[in-house]
Amino acid sequence: MTRVLVVGSGLAGLVAAVRATDAGHRVTLVTKAALSDSNTRYAQGGIAAALFPDDSTDAHILDTLRAGAGLCDPAAVRVLCEEGPARVRDLIRFGVDFDRDESGITRGLEAAHSRSRVLHAGGDATGAAIETALVATVQERAKRAHALGGDQITIHEHTMLVDLVLADTPGSPRVTGAILLGPGGAQHTVSADAVILATGGAGALYRHTTNPAIATGDGVAAAWRAGAAIADVEFYQFHPTALAVPGTPLVSEAVRGEGAVLLTSTGERFMPAIHPDAELAPRDIVARSIAAQMKKQGGAPVLLDATGLGRDLLESRFPTITAACRAAGLDWALVPIPVAPAAHYWMGGVATDGWGRASLSGLYAVGEVARTGAHGANRLASNSLLEAAVFADRAVRALGEPEQRPPLFDDIETDILAEFGNAADDAGTLVDRSTLQEQLWEAAGVHRSGSGLTRAAVTLAGWRAVDRAEATVAELETGNLLDLGRLIVTAALAREESRGAHHRADFPDSRPELARPRFTRRPSSLTRPLVTVPSQPSEAIAC
């Protein structure tokens, strides 16, 4: 029986845990907060899949490739779009109740999609509906195993990933477990035959984000420290429309899909002059256009005018956004609401093959923590939930196959990312999270430049984090954010072009010769000392 450690409880982690349990593996599921707390819970837009007679897998593939700005892995995109419909049907079997109308399942249109193919649940509460259904499914599996006297699946909440554990094996190192920080404040080690990272993104790197506070990039940072390959970390997607009030709640792209338009602070529509698809242009274009307009307005937010949709549609289709507006004292059925870009989704992360396998043996990554190549330089709207479900399923299927090193990683070379990401932690000024967030927002946000990135690189190199062996959860998170901030800034400096979500004022055009991903990892000589175990790992230690 394979011992599988799943880290994270969003859609990707929950699907992996359910699938692995059903496949007969022994599963330990750990999550940093409560089981239901994840980025998935906050997803509004929906999940995209070619499920309808007037749609096709090929059309979905083409839309995804267009949005990815020349950086998608075509094989990963085909897997995503071909297997997506089956995974959506799985979600329905797991209890997700997608919205329906007289024709069947309701579907919506979002930016850069050529068809209406986005499914929703609870109007704009799709993520919450998916999370609720999958949490119930996982808990049912755990309850059933317990009733039968077994521990086939064990769930540990409020348990944080500290670092990965490596075995001294011939050839390349193998991941054999993880160091965890439990709710009692003590670190302990859990052994496993396979570790599946499903820890989500790192929106907490930025001053303005639609992500919850728990999105601190723990999995990518741990994988990087262990020597796993990462890729395309410079590509962070900024959602064009977050409500410009404290907390920056998301205003789904589906609102513009229904017909809402963007206005200047004085009430003029500006997107039609920028792109033929206007408000439904790819996200990077809309986000940059809003940021540019805000600069013209002295920093004032732009306005999203949804008044033409009517109160009934707004309240029934978008109850979450309606509640957020009401909490901010806004009635969006009567007046346009202020919106601005905010960090939303990370296209880069732990490099994997089409089966979720990372470059280190025994390590898998699924969901936003992974860079599968399906999103390229700019994720197509509502493909994120789909990717989480598709590749989590594939990673578990790969557990039953003879392990092999993905050929994708045979020729990875270390570069300046490796050196820069290894800045010493025993020197310099102790990092302050809010200052770090400000640095990333200004230097590596919607608009970037070589001079701004260089200044940020120098500043970040002079900061240090708390010793991880004695750190609290908050200190561990801040250390992860510092590692990732350094990596993003350096990757953005190295990519001397503008492509997708990465835009450089000093290199405003795309360069065809740079239409390739950047894979990198730390050389073993620079990898931080981590816990290592003999090649025959001990039994799992209870959390």
Cβ proximity of 378 and 283 under 8 Å: yes
Residues facing 269 on adjacent strands: 263
Q: In terms of Cα–Cα distance, which of 236, 501, 483, 495 is closest to 368?
A: 236
| Token pair of 533 as six digits | 């175990």
Q: Write down the catalytic residue from 283, 288, 504, 521.
A: 283
Q: In terms of Cα–Cα distance, which of 350, 364, 366 is closest to 10?
A: 366
For the question of residue 141 being annotated catalytic, the response is no
C-alpha dihedral sign at 257, 263, 269, 270: negative
Cβ proximity of 271 and 292 under 8 Å: no
Q: Which residues contact 49 (CB under 8 A, 6 or more apart)?
A: 60, 81, 84, 85, 87, 88, 117, 119, 386
* φ, ψ (nearest 5 deg) of residue 65: -65, -40
d(Cα 282, Cα 380) in Å, to the nearest integer? 8
Q: Which residues contact 144 (CB under 8 A, 6 or more apart)?
A: none
- For 58, 368, 535, the CA distances from 383, given in Å and listed in that order, are 15, 11, 39
- For 309, 395, 446, 492, 520, the CA distances from 65, given in Å and listed in that order, are 31, 23, 21, 22, 23
Geometric angle at alpha carbon 302, from 301 and 303, rounded to 5°: 120
Strand pairing report for 302-305 and 261-263? antiparallel
Strand pairing report for 463-464 and 429-430? parallel
- For 260, 449, 501, the CA distances from 274, given in Å and listed in that order, are 17, 22, 17
Q: Give SS3 for 4.
A: strand
Q: In terms of Cα–Cα distance, which of 396, 367, 394 is closest to 21?
A: 396
Cβ proximity of 152 and 419 under 8 Å: no
d(Cα 264, Cα 294) in Å, to the nearest integer? 8
Cβ proximity of 377 and 236 under 8 Å: no
What residue has token string 């395309």? 232
C-alpha dihedral sign at 159, 161, 163, 167: positive
Q: Which residues are catalytic?
A: 283
